[in-house]
């Protein structure tokens, strides 16, 4: 098959692991013998990534494209839509058609288009599919539907995209339920995120017995609930031989200062390490050298870092935030309520006390069976064949 992916966000030089699950999915499909292309639109105008891209590319023409062959993944990146389409996303469709027609002229017509998240890769996929009569598959990942942060203008785009996709998927049951009101008559199926199980593997020799190490991998945003985790960690382990290592983007400026102040107030400065943004290789090493991963989020549509830790054979402590409760079992970890530091502290204590009861190979096997390349690719192949036949 010839498959064209259109993600809503993607890696940048300053954030190379951004949207890595989109790339992993494309590479897995290519590895399975399919021809895979990718059109990467500019980031959302109202995000820091979008503003940074605006500052870097606003002088470029709206139809400029950079091309790379990323290990067989034919990647067309659009740096800039121009002022008016950036402010009004509904005007981007015709620009996307021009990029799509160029892609077809250079690589042939795809059999199916897969939009990854509605705003706005999924919307562009649906628009192109309607105009060029190509079947469209949509997978939704974004947390905004759970938090209610969808603007009025975006609601029309969400409805259009759902109704102009031939198959609709979402990565967690909570997200399926959140999308249903936009198109109640249409079915939305469940599918998980893919995990790179060749990269994220078990390595028991990399873990020292002491200190016991928890890790967290999350951007420094309110919904990740760093304050909840730090309060829980302080309650459970203050002054003990236990460490918490935190990695992710956004660890700078006033937010970082506030986080450091909270750590100092809680008296755990010597037990908490703030690593900032790290590479994919360093992320894997961090997980392999930790005993367990913690996710304290208020809202989590899935929890990619949770399954990456599980692929490394690590048990997890996670909140019932919308995603982790879908796949974390008694064999792989402990679930707690959101925004409850005492409950999270108790769960982390239980994790350390009962750590020997968790088997790394069992945890990894559960993860691979649900989210490994073969499992996800087989499911997608069936979906692609279905929409092509229809």
**Is 208 a member of any domain?**
yes
**Residues 131, 278: one domain?**
no
pLDDT of residue 43: 77
What DSSP element (H or E) covers 168? Answer: strand 167-170
Structure tokens at 207: 């873990």
**Residues 377, 366: one domain?**
no
**Residues 383, 363: one domain?**
no
**Residues 183, 41: one domain?**
yes
pLDDT of residue 390: 87
**Residues 190, 214: one domain?**
no
* Summary count for the chain: helices (H), strands (E): 15, 14
CA distance linking residue 296 with residue 326, whole number of Å: 16
**Residues 381, 333: one domain?**
no
Summarised one tens digit per residue, pLDDT across range 290-317 is 999 999 999 999 999 999 999 999 999 9
**Residues 54, 106: one domain?**
yes
Is 150 in contact with 118 (CB distance < 8 Å)? no
Strand partners, 67: 76
Q: Provide CB contacts within 8 A for 254, sequence distance 6+.
A: none
**Is 351 a member of any domain?**
yes
Query: Which CATH number does the domain housing residue 321 bear?
Result: 3.40.50.2000
pLDDT of residue 48: 66
**Is 97 a member of any domain?**
yes
**Adjacency order of strands within the sheet including 2-7:** 66-70, 73-77, 35-40, 2-7, 112-116, 136-140, 167-170, 189-190
Q: Which residue has the tokens 């102040």?
A: 261
Which parts of the chain register pLDDT below 70?
45-50
**Residues 219, 314: one domain?**
yes
The domain tally of the chain equals 2
The pairing of beta strand 73-77 with beta strand 66-70 = antiparallel
**Is 199 a member of any domain?**
no
**Residue span of the structural domain in which 131 resides:** 2-194+372-389
**Residues 158, 293: one domain?**
no
b/e sequence 79-112, b meaning 16+ C-beta within 10 Å: bbbbeebbeebeebbebbeebbeebbeeeeebbb
**Residues 133, 216: one domain?**
no
What DSSP element (H or E) covers 275? Answer: strand 272-276
Backbone dihedral angles phi then psi of residue 72, each to the nearest 5 degrees: 95, -10
**Is 362 a member of any domain?**
yes
The DSSP symbol for 122 reads I
CA distance linking residue 217 with residue 293, whole number of Å: 8
pLDDT of residue 52: 75
**Residues 188, 215: one domain?**
no
**Is 109 a member of any domain?**
yes
CA dihedral sign, ordered 325, 229, 231, 285: positive
**Is 366 a member of any domain?**
yes
Counting every residue, how long is the chain? 390
**Residues 218, 284: one domain?**
yes
CA distance linking residue 193 with residue 21, whole number of Å: 7
């Amino acid at each position: 098959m010839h498959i064209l992916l259109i993600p809503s966000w993607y890696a940048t030089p300053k954030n190379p692991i951004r949207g890595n699950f989109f790339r992993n999915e494309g590479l897995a499909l290519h590895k399975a013998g399919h021809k895979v292309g990718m059109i990467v639109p500019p980031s959302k105008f109202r995000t820091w990534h979008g503003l940074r891209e605006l500052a870097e590319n606003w002088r470029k023409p709206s139809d400029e494209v950079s091309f790379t062959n990323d290990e067989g993944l034919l990647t067309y990146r659009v740096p800039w839509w121009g002022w008016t389409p950036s402010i009004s996303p509904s005007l981007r469709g015709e620009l996307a058609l021009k990029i799509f027609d160029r892609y077809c002229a250079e690589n042939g017509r795809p059999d199916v288009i897969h939009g990854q998240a509605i705003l706005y890769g999924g919307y562009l996929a649906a628009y192109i599919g309607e105009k060029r009569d190509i079947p469209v598959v949509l997978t939704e990942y974004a947390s905004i539907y759970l938090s209610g942060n969808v603007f009025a203008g975006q609601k029309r785009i969400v409805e259009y995209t759902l109704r102009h996709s031939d198959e609709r998927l979402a990565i967690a049951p909570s997200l399926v339920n959140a999308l249903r009101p936009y198109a109640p008559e249409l079915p939305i199926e469940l599918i998980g995120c893919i995990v790179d199980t060749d990269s994220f593997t078990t390595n028991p020799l990399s873990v020292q017995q002491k200190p016991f190490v928890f890790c967290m991998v999350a951007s420094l945003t309110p919904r990740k609930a760093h304050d909840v985790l730090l309060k829980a960690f302080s309650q459970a382990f203050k002054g003990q031989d236990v460490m918490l290592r935190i990695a992710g983007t956004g660890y700078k400026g006033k937010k970082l200062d506030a986080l450091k102040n909270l750590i100092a107030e809680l008296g755990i400065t010597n037990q908490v390490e703030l690593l900032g943004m790290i590479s994919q290789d360093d992320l894997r090493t961090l997980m392999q050298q930790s005993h367990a991963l913690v996710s304290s989020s208020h809202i989590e549509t899935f929890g990619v870092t949770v399954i990456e830790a599980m692929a490394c054979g690590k048990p997890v402590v996670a909140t019932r935030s919308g995603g982790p409760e879908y796949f974390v079992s008694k064999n792989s970890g402990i679930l707690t309520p959101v925004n409850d530091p005492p409950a999270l502290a108790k769960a982390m204590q239980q994790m350390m006390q009962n750590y020997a009861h968790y088997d790394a190979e069992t945890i990894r096997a559960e993860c691979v069976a649900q989210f490994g390349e073969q499992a996800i690719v087989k499911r997608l192949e069936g979906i692609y064949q279905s929409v092509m036949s229809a």
